[in-house]
Each structure stands twice: as structure tokens, then as C-alpha cells.
Structure 1
């Protein structure tokens, strides 16, 4: 039996038709009555598209740009209204095809797992999912295909949450409007004893924050502040490890990143946490 699927796509300064998943979404709502799309547009200007005339597509424009968590909660409202079974989180730079959507909708393990996650690559680098029993930021280790009760972390985009998983988290945490929302999400699923199933599906995703030389100081401020909030208020067992990792990161940034403000901000963060830990 096919499951009812709600897809939440978040846009920022990009039209829907320019997204690599556009054809898959167009086909999905044209051919499948069980698939609905929420397009949450954080762009300064509203974008039009012929797809918005489809009753299964819900376009929301919010120039205030509240980030991902607010958008996902809008998708959750539709999910609950439709009594859907699955919700797919999707970034504007992630490419999916229609067979992936069909595979998701035909999953039969929705009552026994909190989320399905694909294998995600940024270029040739595998980035998700990863084991997160230990601090995520050093050497990464990756799970096998299939279900696991071990603690995992996966990027938001491509993640499929089940009704069970969504009930467990209740709502997306708007303390993390953008960065570290994925860390909080999978931390919460683990706290609620929700199993994760890794799918034998590979997706491409452009994760620019992997390279600090390409990250603006404003964006880095968002990342490093969200890190502190996560480790101080949620995954507190890893706070000391995070503090030590900041020092290592600062040294690496000093040697490799031209924007000197980046490593200085990391040094400032390290000193802040060190003082608070005294």
C-alpha cells in the first residue's frame, strides 16, 4: 500500500524551476494523488511557477527568512491535516528523481522506524549518515544499509520522517533555525528510542559549509553559535570534547583559511567555553 507523502522544499533566492529536483516534483504531483509538496520560499521576492496551480502544491512566501525549522513545522501542519504517513525534507540544492519518491512511498517499515535516510555525497565525499555515538567532527564512520538502533546523524535534506518519528519529536526545534537542526533532530530521535533505516539510495547534495574558505563570517557565526547551543543545552556529554575540537579547528583554520576572522572567531569561542567551564 502506498503511503501518503508530504515533501517540504525550502527555497532561498532561487526559483522552484531552477531546483535539480523540479522534474521529479512535477511528475510526482501530476501522477500521484498520495504526494503533496510544501514549497516554503524564504527569498526576499516571491517566485511564481506553473506548479503552484496544482492543488497538491502549497506555496508559502516568507521574506523574513526564518530558516528551516519554521518551514518544516509548516510542513508538519499539513502532514497532520492530511493524516499522512511520511514527510520528506528537501533542500533546493539536493537532486532527487521520481523513482526515489516512489521508493519512499512504498516503504512498509514506517511503524517500526522513526526515519529513513539515504546515502548522501557532496561531490566525491560521503557526508551522511554517520555514526554519532562520539563527537561528529573528527574521523567519521558510516553505518551499513538497513535498520539500526545505534545513534546516527544525517543531513536534513533527503531525510524521510515517519509518523512515529514526527510524534516523537513533536515539533522541529526553532532554537535551530538553520545550522545544527539536523544534529538536534537525530539526537532527539535517539533520545526517544526511534530506530533509523539507511536506504540503499544515493543522493547528491552541495554542502558548501564543508570548506571554511568558502564560508562567510556571517554564516560561520550562525554555525558556531548553533554548535554552542546544541552542546550546552542538549548533547551536554559532548561539550568538553567540542571545546577541545574547537582548539584543533582553530589551528587548522589558521593554517588553511585566508579569512583571518574565521580562526579568530573560533579562538574566541574556545576561550568563551573554557571560561564558562571553569
Structure 2
């Protein structure tokens, strides 16, 4: 018997039909009765697509653009409505491999596993998952496929959460509407003493925040605010490392990033945390 899988994809100013995995998702949704699709559209204007009229598809438009956490909470409610087993988190910029969904539908579920995650690459290099027992940075190490009790962190897109995990978490933390929601999620799963299963599937994701030269000031404000909140309130053991990292990042940004507002914002955050130590 196949798992009931709910794919929750969040859109922003992008046509669903032009997302990288559209054709693959369309095929699975059309052929598999146990596959469901929940689309939360944060775009300014609502859109239409032939898939939106299928019985196992739900489309929600929210022009207020509240980010990811609210969208995932709505996806969780839909999962409960259809009595689903797994929720797959997806970003509009993620390209699924051609067997990932079939694997999830037939996956033997383990009660001890809090999340199933793929191996994700961006611009030719692996970015997720990473071991997160230490401060996550460019020197972080990557796990191979397998089940881990050690702390791991994976980006949201591609992550698969069993219904039991979602029930234990309660809801996605609205204090992280966009950035660092993934860090909070896997921190929370670790607090539940759940393992993480790294699947032998490779996804490609366009992660623009890898390069500070390509980030505008508004998005960077979201990133740095999410970082500080996470390390001050949740993963507190790494707060000192975070503060030190901000100073190092300030120097690198000063030398490499043309947008001077970026390095100044980092330095202001560093000074703020030093005053409050």
C-alpha cells in the first residue's frame, strides 16, 4: 500500500507551469491516487493552471506574501484533511530527480525517523544536508545516505516530514517566516530525539542566498534577523560562534560585496550582540 504524500509547494512571482519540476509533478499527480498537491501562492496576483481543478490538488493564493512558515502550516492542515502520511516541502526553484516521488510513495516508514531528506546541490556543489552539531558554515561536513542520530540540518525544499513529526512539532514557527526556518525545524526535530534519514536521491536547487553579492538589502535583513533570533533563543550553545562569525563576515563583505549596506548591516548586528553580551 502506497503512502499518502502531500507535496506542498510555495510560489512567489512565478508561474507554476514554468517551475523546473512541473512536468514530473503533473505526471505523478495525474497517475497516482495517493499523491496530493498543495500550492500556496504568495504572488501578487492569483494564477490558473489545469492541475488546480484536479480532486487531489488544492491551490491557495495569498497576496500578502507571508513567507514559508504560514504556507507550510496551511499545507499541514491539508495533510490532516486528506489523512496523509508524509508532507514534502518544495520550493519553486527545485528540480526533482525522476524517481524521488515514486520512492516517497513506496517508502517504508520508520517511527524513529523525524525527517527524510535528499542530497541537494546548487550551482554545482552540495549544500544540503549538513552536520549541524557545530556552527554551520562553509567548512561544514556533508553526510552520505543513511540514518543519523547526530544533528543534521537540511534546507526546507526536498525535506519530507511524517505526520507524527508534524503533530509533535505542532506548527511551523511564525517567528521565522522565511529565513532560518529550516534551521529551527531540524533543531526542533533533534529536540524530539528523532533520527534523520538521508535518502540516496539528488535534487538541484537554485539557492541565491549563497552569494551575498546577489542579495538585496531587504532579503539580507530577513537572513540576519533570522540568524540572530535562532542563536539567541534556540541553538544558544552556538551564540558565541555566531557573534564571532559576524565579524569575520563583515570583513569579507567589505572586500567582496559592492552593496555597502550589506557589510554595514552585518557590522551593526555584531556591535549590537557585543553590547548585549
TM-score range, shorter chain: over 0.9
Task: Judge conservation of contact 1:28–1:98 (CA < 8 Å) in 2.
Answer: no
- Which TM-score applies when normalising by structure 1? 0.98
d(CA) in 1 for partners of 2:6 and 2:98?
14
Which 10-residue stretch deviates more, 137-146 or 193-202?
Answer: 137-146
The aligned residue for residue 63 of structure 2 is: 63
TM-score, structure 2 as length reference: 0.98
Which residue is equivalent to 1:151?
151
Mapped to 2, the partners of 1:227 and 1:121 lie a distance apart of: 22
Which residue in 2 is equivalent to 1:127? 127
Contact 1:27–1:98 (CA<8 Å) still a contact in 2? no
Which blocks of at least 5 consecutive residues in structure 2 are unaligned?
A: none
1:21-49 C-alpha deviation (Å, 9 max, x unpaired): 11111111110010110110000011111
2:23 counterpart of 1:48: no
For each residue in 1:137-170, what CA deviation from the matched residue of structure 2 results, as whole angstroms up to 9, or x when unmatched? 2411011211010000000000001122212211
Contact 1:40 1:59 in 2 (8 A): yes
In 2, Cα distance between the equivalents of 1:230 and 1:35? 34
**C-alpha distance in structure 2 between counterparts of 1:156 and 1:110, whole Å:** 20
Give the equivalent residue in structure 2 for 1:189. 189
Counterpart-to-counterpart distance in 2, 1:91 and 1:103: 19
Instruction: Give 4+ residue runs of structure 1 displaced > 4 Å after superposition.
Output: none
Alpha-carbon contact 1:11-1:42 (below 8 Å) kept: yes
> C-alpha distance in 2, partners of 1:128/1:66?
25
Mean alpha-carbon deviation: is it higher for 84-93 or for 98-107? 98-107
Aligned residues: 277
CA distance in 2, matches of 1:258, 1:206: 22
Question: SS of 1:141's equivalent?
Answer: coil
Counterpart residue number, 1:99 = 99
Q: SS at 1:177's partner residue?
A: coil
Q: Quick one: distance in 2 between partners of 1:111 and 1:166?
A: 13
Query: Comparing 103-112 with 7-16, which one deviates more in the overlay?
Result: 103-112
Q: Is the 1:113–1:164 Cα contact (8 Å) retained in structure 2?
A: no
The 5-angstrom pairing of residues 117-266 of structure 1 reads 117-266=117-266
Say if 2:97 and 2:201, in contact at 8 Å, map to a contact too.
no
1:7-46 superposed matches below 5 A: 7-46=7-46
Q: How far does residue 221 in structure 1 lie from its aligned partner after superposition? A: 0.5
CA deviation profile, 1:205-238 (whole Å, cap 9, x unmatched): 0000000000001100010001111111111111
Q: Is the 8 A contact 2:89 2:157 kept in 1?
A: yes
Q: Tell me, what secondary structure is at the counterpart of 1:8?
A: strand
Contact 1:213 1:259 in 2 (8 A): yes
Aligned partners of 2:164 and 2:63: how far apart in 1?
32
Deviation at 1:50, TM superposition (A): 0.8
**TM-superposed deviation, 1:97:** 4.3
1:59-100 alpha-carbon deviations (Å, 9 max, x no partner): 000000000000000110011122211100000000114521
Contact 1:43/1:62, CA 8 A, preserved across alignment: yes
